[in-house]
Amino acid sequence: MTEILNIGDEPIFDGRIVKIETHTYNPFANTTFGHSDEIRIPIQQQDLYTLPHESYLYIAGKLMLRNGEHIGPRMVMGNNCVAFMFDEIR
């Protein structure tokens, strides 16, 4: 216990994370999502650690009105707007 508080020694760096991988996930069956639809992204390898601070979501799609009309360039989305599309991420 006293070794952990010894601040006079050299710092110990943990370099066990050896690489970072990027994976693409597409929806299984549903290609159109409505209000309150659930999106699941499975991670097959259970022994992995995820780094949420280095993660990102790339979302592509079309913005449409309820009558099917495309919104097009009239719509301007603000900064961090995608974060407000989700009420829970776990």
Quickly state the pLDDT bin for 29 (edges 50, 70, 90). low
Closest listed residue to residue 59, CA positions, set 22, 25, 20 = 25
Paired with 12 in beta bridges are none
Whole-model pTM: value is 0.41
Quick check: 68 pLDDT over 80? yes
Query: Tokens 């970072």 belong to which residue?
Result: 20
pLDDT, average across residues 6-32: 73
In contact, 68 and 75? CB cutoff 8 Å: no
Which residues are 70's β-sheet partners? 64
